[in-house]
Chains A and B, each alone.
Chain A
Amino acid sequence: MALRLPSKVLEHILSFIDSNEDRNSVSLVCKSWFETERKTRKRVFVGNCYAVSPAAVARRFPEMRSLTLKGKPHFADYNLVPDGWGGYACPWVDALAAKSPSLEEIRLKRMVVTDECLEKIAASFKDFKVLVLTSCEGFSTDGIAAIASTCRNLRVLELRECIVEDLGGDWLSYFPKTSTSLVSLDFSCLDSEVKISDLERLVSRSPNLKSLKLNPAVTLDGLVSILSRAPQLTELGTGSFAAELKPEAFSKLSKAFSNCKQLQSLSGLWDVLPEYLPALYSVCPGLISLNLSYATVRMPDLVELLRRCSKLQKLWVMDLIEDKGLEAVATYCKELRELRVFPSEPDLDATNIPVTEQGLVYVSKGCRKLESVLYFCVQFTNAALITIARKRPNLKCFRLCVIEPFAPDYKTNEPLDKGFKAIAEGCKDLRRLSVSGLLSDKAFKYIGKHAKKVRMLSIAFAGDSDLMLHHLLSGCESLKKLEIRDCPFGDTALLENAAKLETMRSLWMSSCFVSFGACKLLSQKMPRLNVEVIDEHPPKTRPESSPVERIYIYRTVAGPRMDTPEFVWTLHKNPEIGVSRLAIK
């Protein structure tokens, strides 16, 4: 006779399990484990806000204290999702206000948040502590003011890369006049000026403040004043560094930084003049994270700074660092785990090529702990990819963006198949991969065969035929998110691997060859998938064979969504569609 674990004991055991994946696994064991797990889960993560209904989530997790929600597909970051597509936070906030009044933390990514929504959050959750909005839009600084003034126990308020209607800097004065419990404040994406006196007073009455990210409107003088009031900061995002260099200003800045003995993370640095960089030297030895991706500083100055950052684990920088600068990084920053190199020119025709594949090879050779790479450059070689894979089999995230579409290995003129084969084969723990450059069938055969742990895959301007999509869908066992643009993939592979789509969070395909008929068929055959055809300029008639502009497919237990705009076609909106004439072999 099997002994059942008393639920109190199980509860105690589960209290040690935090990760959502583990808890999801626990909940699948049996009914009683499901019950115990759901009653004890505090942190809930919903990767696609349309995969499940807010009411269902609130009902399932009565002790929920923290909710993380993601809305639009990732390619929305690059303007590939038309405005008005969806991803509204309101229905979630409404449901949670009613069912989960003890909610303390809300983190939203790529969602539409209104001022009313923010006001509702402020009014409904008495002990609200954390609001993090990443790449969100739809609200103004009024909504922020509501949060600031009403949430007396607010600890974290972070606006990361949001599009905010900026009605001025007054919102800052709405924080409680007595001391605040603020630990982290990030308003770096706001445009307008805040009153420095407001900011100074806020900082002075926030003894727990550890992370502060200012917007570009805050001047160097303002920064100095803030730093003198908050020397305990561990994370700092500066304002704009552009100001004529005056020796007095420089020494004040230098002194302010040297007083920040606990600073571990530095960002902002917009328009930084190289003459100001020495003011940062005192904090370099302690820095773990450095974001120079908005600093248009040349290689020699960057090297002077970076050679002092021996503890650096995360570096974001522009390609102005050049290969030589990356060689220096490889020499001095031995603790590096994450490197991102962004392009300094938006033009694809850039004739000045600051970084080449050699830069990344240097870092791969020199930084043993490197596990996450995002690298923009104009061209690459198979040899470099092979070296990188050989030197860094511990890579977990490899995103290479060869800016020139279809660029072959520029030394041999071959596709980059061999190189990506090496990456897929060699980096056995690879979880995220973005490919680019000239790629044929073979590359995707290798990726399907070897990249068994890849969860997210991004592809653009690649491929010869459907066979490639078939390789990916039938081969990549752990695939959860697949996003494709401008590849000649069509119906066959998609329909053949329809069942796979239920094991994934989502599939995005834009400017490919998927026909309208296939979308209809997929919708009919797979009721647990939402198939959305997104055509900004839908034609008056849609013949079966006409290709769709964009298709977004995701699994869901919430059924069809009711908030689609006109330009999104779903089967639900068009139930009169008959059976397709497509033949599937």
Chain B
Amino acid sequence: MITELEMGKGESELELGLGLSLGGGTPAKIGGGGAWGERGRLLTAKDFPSVGSKRAADSASHAGASPPRSSSQVVGWPPIGSHRMNSLVNNQATKSAREEEDAGKKKVNDDQPKDATKKVNGKVQVGFIKVNMDGVAIGRKVDLNAHSSYENLAQTLEDMFFRTNPGTIGLTGQFTKPLRLLDGSSEFVLTYEDKEGDWMLVGDVPWRMFTTSVKRLRVMKTSEANGLAARHQDPNERQRNQPM
């Protein structure tokens, strides 16, 4: 009988971590670098065949600003048979073409500031934005309106991605030290994409201003975050900085 199963820590004698692999996994890396023991699985492009032409179009528009792995690029998810999937992709293609035509007309009229809201059946779903982390394919969502400050938000994200709390699943496993996403001292930084498509470091603008301009978040490796706009600049002077 199983008396004590260690929860969420994996079997230490088998050296398994709690990273989640998606798609086929990459056993080629196992023998060598200990990717299995690391916090996250190292996923390669093979794990993410594009699903839907819309996703491919989005990726193309972010040329140079490596977009976070989106959860729509997981093999066999959502679980729809291939006949149906093909049919959806075809519909998507015709729809995108039509939308691009309409979008061209819309841009001229659209200069109202929006905050991070989406419409759901006419009701407004306030505040939920996507968060992705480097090395983790499945993104999460966080409700900005449920947070009052950057510290608050950082704590939630830490819990979500790095710790196993009751009711929350740590996606990447256990850590011994706190993450400190905001002070630049750890391996990861928190970044966000704003309305104009620029990627910025989180924390430099007042919270309220941030919530109105943020489109989505990304927990990025510090090494990749060089060159991000680190200070709030006058919009007229702001340069387009792309993460490397």
Interface residues, chain A, CB within 8 Å of chain B?
Answer: 75, 77-80, 135, 161, 163, 189, 270, 293-294, 296, 322-323, 342-349, 351-354, 356, 376, 401, 403-408, 413-415, 438, 440-441, 458, 460-461, 464-467, 470, 485-486, 488, 490-493, 496, 511, 513, 515, 517, 535-541, 543-549, 582-583, 585
In the complex, the answer to whether A161 meets B83 with C-beta atoms within 8 Å is yes
Knowing A464-B8, A490-B14, A511-B20, the reply to whether A75 touches B80 (Cβ < 8 A) is no
A270 to B21, CA, bound (A): 36
Cβ of A493: which chain B residues have Cβ within 8 Å of it? 2, 5
Cβ of B74: which chain A residues have Cβ within 8 Å of it? 348, 405
13 A–B contacts from the bound complex (CB under 8 Å): A79-B82, A294-B87, A343-B78, A343-B88, A403-B77, A460-B77, A465-B6, A485-B76, A486-B22, A491-B14, A493-B2, A536-B24, A543-B30
Cβ of B16: which chain A residues have Cβ within 8 Å of it? 490, 513, 515, 545, 547
Q: C-beta contact mask, B159-179 vs A, less than 8 Å → 1, else 0?
A: 000001011010100000000
B48 CB → nearest A CB, Å = 12
| Contact partner, A353, options B31, B51, B54, B121, Cβ 8 Å | B121
A465 to B17, CA, bound (A): 11
A136 CB → nearest B CB, Å = 12
**Chain B residue with the shortest CB-CB distance to A536:** B24
Q: Is B106 an interface residue (CB 8 A)?
A: no
B52 CB → nearest A CB, Å = 4
Cβ of A270: which chain B residues have Cβ within 8 Å of it? 87
| Contact partner, A349, options B5, B14, B80, B130, Cβ 8 Å | B130
Cβ of B15: which chain A residues have Cβ within 8 Å of it? 545
Q: Is B104 an interface residue (CB 8 A)?
A: no
In the complex, the answer to whether A79 meets B164 with C-beta atoms within 8 Å is no
A585 to B3, CA, bound (A): 9
Cβ of A485: which chain B residues have Cβ within 8 Å of it? 76
Cβ of B88: which chain A residues have Cβ within 8 Å of it? 343-346
Main secondary structure of the interface of B (DSSP, over half): loop
B17 CB → nearest A CB, Å = 9
Interface centre among A466, A488, A541, A583, by most B CB within 10 Å? A488
Interface residues, chain B, CB within 8 Å of chain A?
Answer: 1-3, 5-8, 10-11, 13-16, 18, 20-28, 30-31, 36, 46, 51-52, 54-55, 70-72, 74-85, 87-89, 91-92, 118-121, 125, 130, 138, 140-141, 164, 166-167, 169, 171
In the complex, the answer to whether A346 meets B24 with C-beta atoms within 8 Å is no
**Chain B residue with the shortest CB-CB distance to A318:** B88
A347 to B58, CA, bound (A): 11
**Chain B residue with the shortest CB-CB distance to A351:** B118
Cβ of A511: which chain B residues have Cβ within 8 Å of it? 20-25
Knowing A406-B138, A438-B169, the reply to whether A490 touches B25 (Cβ < 8 A) is no
**Chain B residue with the shortest CB-CB distance to A511:** B21
In the complex, the answer to whether B79 meets A78 with C-beta atoms within 8 Å is yes
Cβ of A161: which chain B residues have Cβ within 8 Å of it? 81, 83
B84 CB → nearest A CB, Å = 7
A163 to B83, CA, bound (A): 9
In the complex, the answer to whether A347 meets B72 with C-beta atoms within 8 Å is yes
Cβ of A545: which chain B residues have Cβ within 8 Å of it? 14-16, 36
Cβ of B3: which chain A residues have Cβ within 8 Å of it? 585
Cβ of A540: which chain B residues have Cβ within 8 Å of it? 31
In the complex, the answer to whether B2 meets A470 with C-beta atoms within 8 Å is yes
A438 to B166, CA, bound (A): 12
A548 to B25, CA, bound (A): 9
The 4 tightest CB contacts between A and B, nearest first, are A78-B76, A348-B72, A346-B52, A465-B7
Cβ of A488: which chain B residues have Cβ within 8 Å of it? 8, 10, 18, 20
| Contact partner, B76, options A79, A343, A517, A543, Cβ 8 Å | A79
A332 to B201, CA, bound (A): 54
**Chain B residue with the shortest CB-CB distance to A378:** B120
In the complex, the answer to whether B54 meets A347 with C-beta atoms within 8 Å is yes
In the complex, the answer to whether A515 meets B83 with C-beta atoms within 8 Å is no
| Contact partner, A543, options B31, B77, B138, Cβ 8 Å | B31
A347 to B50, CA, bound (A): 10
In the complex, the answer to whether B91 meets A376 with C-beta atoms within 8 Å is no
A158 CB → nearest B CB, Å = 15
In the complex, the answer to whether A406 meets B78 with C-beta atoms within 8 Å is no
In the complex, the answer to whether B2 meets A496 with C-beta atoms within 8 Å is yes
Knowing A406-B138, A470-B2, A490-B10, the reply to whether A547 touches B27 (Cβ < 8 A) is yes
A458 to B78, CA, bound (A): 13
In the complex, the answer to whether B169 meets A464 with C-beta atoms within 8 Å is yes
A345 CB → nearest B CB, Å = 7
In the complex, the answer to whether B30 meets A348 with C-beta atoms within 8 Å is no
Q: A78-B77, A511-B23, A547-B21 are in contact. List 20 more A-B contacts (CB 8 A).
A: A77-B82, A78-B75, A161-B81, A296-B91, A346-B51, A346-B80, A348-B71, A353-B118, A353-B120, A401-B78, A414-B167, A460-B77, A461-B138, A464-B164, A466-B5, A493-B2, A511-B24, A545-B14, A546-B36, A549-B27
In the complex, the answer to whether B75 meets A80 with C-beta atoms within 8 Å is yes
Cβ of A547: which chain B residues have Cβ within 8 Å of it? 16, 21, 25, 27, 30, 36
**Chain A residue with the shortest CB-CB distance to B36:** A547
Cβ of A415: which chain B residues have Cβ within 8 Å of it? 167
In the complex, the answer to whether A517 meets B14 with C-beta atoms within 8 Å is yes
In the complex, the answer to whether B78 meets A348 with C-beta atoms within 8 Å is yes
Cβ of A353: which chain B residues have Cβ within 8 Å of it? 118, 120-121, 125
A582 to B84, CA, bound (A): 44
A488 to B70, CA, bound (A): 21
In the complex, the answer to whether A539 meets B92 with C-beta atoms within 8 Å is no
Knowing A342-B80, A343-B80, A461-B138, the reply to whether A406 touches B169 (Cβ < 8 A) is yes
B2 CB → nearest A CB, Å = 6
Knowing A345-B88, A488-B18, A490-B14, the reply to whether A189 touches B24 (Cβ < 8 A) is no
In the complex, the answer to whether A349 meets B70 with C-beta atoms within 8 Å is yes
Knowing A323-B121, A347-B51, A543-B30, the reply to whether A492 touches B78 (Cβ < 8 A) is no
Cβ of A342: which chain B residues have Cβ within 8 Å of it? 80, 84
**Chain A residue with the shortest CB-CB distance to B37:** A545
A547 to B19, CA, bound (A): 12
In the complex, the answer to whether B78 meets A77 with C-beta atoms within 8 Å is no
In the complex, the answer to whether A349 meets B72 with C-beta atoms within 8 Å is yes
In the complex, the answer to whether B78 meets A535 with C-beta atoms within 8 Å is no
In the complex, the answer to whether A404 meets B5 with C-beta atoms within 8 Å is no
Cβ of B28: which chain A residues have Cβ within 8 Å of it? 537, 539
A200 to B75, CA, bound (A): 42
Knowing A346-B72, A490-B10, A539-B27, the reply to whether A189 touches B80 (Cβ < 8 A) is no
Cβ of A407: which chain B residues have Cβ within 8 Å of it? 141
B143 CB → nearest A CB, Å = 8
Knowing A79-B75, A349-B72, A517-B14, the reply to whether A467 touches B7 (Cβ < 8 A) is yes
B50 CB → nearest A CB, Å = 10
**Chain A residue with the shortest CB-CB distance to B88:** A346
Cβ of B24: which chain A residues have Cβ within 8 Å of it? 511, 536-537, 549
In the complex, the answer to whether A77 meets B31 with C-beta atoms within 8 Å is no
B199 CB → nearest A CB, Å = 17
In the complex, the answer to whether A406 meets B27 with C-beta atoms within 8 Å is no
**Chain A residue with the shortest CB-CB distance to B54:** A347
Cβ of A548: which chain B residues have Cβ within 8 Å of it? 27
